[in-house]
Structure formats: C-alpha cells, structure tokens
Amino acid sequence: MAGGLRSYSYATLTTAIQNYCEVDSNVLTAAITDGFIMAAEQRIWLDVPIDAYRKVSEGNLAADDNTINAPAGCMFVRGVKVFESTSASTGAGEWLQKKDQTYLTEYSDRLTGPSGGQTAQDVTGFPKYYAMFGGATGVTDTTSGGMYISPTPDTTYMYRIYYDIRPTSLGSGADGNSHTYISNYFPQGLLYACLVEAYGFLKGPMDMLTLYENKYKQEVQKFAGVQIGRRRRDDYTDGTVRIPVKSPSP
C-alpha cells in the first residue's frame, strides 16, 4: 500500500498480467514481461509530465571552460540558472537563454570578429546563453553530453540545472525496484499499458486489445489531470476548482 492506494510491486504486477492474459510464466517469461513493463513505463512517462521525475542539480562552473556536464540520467533540461558568485545565497541569479549551438557560435563571432583569431572559448564573462549537445549515457555525470555556455565563464560561478531524470524501472533488471512512483500512484494505468503490450505480443483478440487501450487512455487523462493540474495549482493562488453540474430538466 502507498498513500492509502493500492499499488503494484514487480511480483504482483507480473502475476496480474498473467492472470488477465490467462497464461503462466512458461508463456510470459520474466524477460518477456520485463519488456512489457519497460514499454509501458516509457509510454506513461512520454504521455504525462510527472513531477516525481523533476530534479535539480547544483555545481560550480570552471573558469575558461565553456561546457557543463549533463547530470546523471538527465533526459532533458528545463532551465539553467547561474549565480553571480560561488554560492546561491550570496549572489543574484540569472536564467540563461536556451539557444542552438549555431547561435552561440554566431554570438561569439559578433564579439570577436570571424577573422579575429579568437574562438568561442576566448570570449569570457558572465554566461548568458546555453545550448545542448550529446546526451547523458550513464548513471553518473558524463562528458558525453551536456551544455555549451557563452560567454565562457571568467570565474567559478555557481549554477543550478533544472531537469527531468530517466524514470527508474519496476523491472527485475539491474536498475529495477520493487516499487516505483508509477506503480504506487498510477497502478491501474501501468497495468492497462502492460496489457496492451501483452495482448499485442500474444496476438490476442482485437477486442481485448482495444478494450485495454481505451482503459489506459481513460486512466491517463485522470492521471494527467492530477500531474499537470491539481499538483501545479493551489486554492489560494488559483481558486478552488469548480466543475459545473447540469441540473435535471424540469
């Protein structure tokens, strides 16, 4: 149980999938079921912005280095803020503007001149722009992907990155957990998404595949209403949500 709601563990979800499909582990092995769960989790994560996967990472820029490593497991960056000192508590912060790499190159050229004998790395000062490159590929901060910043910092300013992380899987693999946020707070949607994958794999009756696809779509609308609606508003600021109820005809 989680927060008073029924939740699925890896074991109970696996059993539920087999029961709904009326097969056993000889048909749906652990490896096959893990694939269903992974595909379902990815689908949910892509369909709904989930607050649980929003993260913040802090660090200090290196002087004369125009790159920042992507945080571990970063899927995409929501924003980058740089502070005018090495501590957020003692300096004002500025949000960097997100641009393409080509824009940063053009910006540096405007400052140095295309034939000035300088590169983007030579343009130093307080950063103003950032651009993405590569992507995080490991479980730790990586140099295989991150952000270019311009101008290149002239000292070790503190930065803060707001981003979404790769969801942890419920599967039985190395990064699996017995419970996840989705299995605790969106168990029915996770089950229906898994059943869509399962019936597609088993080449089951089309009406059953359609049934669970529609059930998933209904549940994901409710879940999205919580994640991007109720969780991002409050009664004091936004007012109480009022739903019109039609009166019966006289």
Nearest to 88 by CA among 125, 57, 123: 57
Which residues span the domain enclosing 77? 53-165
Q: What's residue 233's pLDDT?
A: 78
- Tell me the average pLDDT of the chain: 85
In a domain, 179, yes or no: no
What is the band of 142 on the pLDDT scale with cuts at 50, 70, 90?
A: low
In a domain, 69, yes or no: yes
Average pLDDT over residues 118-146: 71
* Whether residue 71 is found in the same domain as residue 129: yes
In a domain, 247, yes or no: no
pTM: 0.78
Q: What is the pLDDT of residues 232-243, one digit of tens each?
A: 777 777 777 676
The residue among 116 and 20 whose pLDDT is bigger is 20
Q: What's residue 2's pLDDT?
A: 42
* Whether residue 42 is found in the same domain as residue 63: no
* Whether residue 37 is found in the same domain as residue 65: no
Strands (E), 20-99: 54-60, 67-70, 74-83, 93-95, 97-98
Helices (H) and strands (E) in the chain, counts: 7, 10
In a domain, 19, yes or no: yes
**CB neighbours of 35 closer than 8 A, spacing ≥ 6?**
197
* Whether residue 80 is found in the same domain as residue 142: yes
Residue 110 has pLDDT above 90, yes or no: no
Residue 80 has pLDDT above 50, yes or no: yes
Average pLDDT over residues 54-64: 93
For residue 56, the cross-strand partners are 162
* Whether residue 208 is found in the same domain as residue 154: no
Q: What's residue 249's pLDDT?
A: 74
In a domain, 111, yes or no: yes
* Whether residue 57 is found in the same domain as residue 46: no
Structural domain ending residue among the three candidates 165, 181, 208: 165
Count of structural domains, the chain: 2
* Whether residue 160 is found in the same domain as residue 208: no
Residue 141 has pLDDT above 90, yes or no: no
Average pLDDT over residues 131-137: 73
What percent of the chain shows pLDDT beyond 70?
Answer: 84
Residue 112 has pLDDT above 70, yes or no: no
Q: What's residue 139's pLDDT?
A: 54
Q: What's residue 126's pLDDT?
A: 93
In a domain, 41, yes or no: yes
Give the HSE-up count for residue 240: Cα atoms under 13 Å, Cβ half-sphere. Answer: 3
Separation between Cα atoms, residue 199 and residue 170, nearest integer Å: 20
In a domain, 139, yes or no: yes
Residue 173 has pLDDT above 80, yes or no: no
Residue 207 has pLDDT above 50, yes or no: yes
Q: What's residue 3's pLDDT?
A: 42
* Whether residue 154 is found in the same domain as residue 60: yes
* Whether residue 46 is found in the same domain as residue 62: no
Token readout for 146 is 């991150």
Q: Which helix (H) or strand (E) holds 162?
A: strand 158-165
Residue 73 has pLDDT above 70, yes or no: yes
Q: What's residue 172's pLDDT?
A: 66
Token readout for 40 is 């379902």
In a domain, 76, yes or no: yes
* Whether residue 158 is found in the same domain as residue 63: yes
Residue 119 has pLDDT above 90, yes or no: no
* Whether residue 201 is found in the same domain as residue 156: no
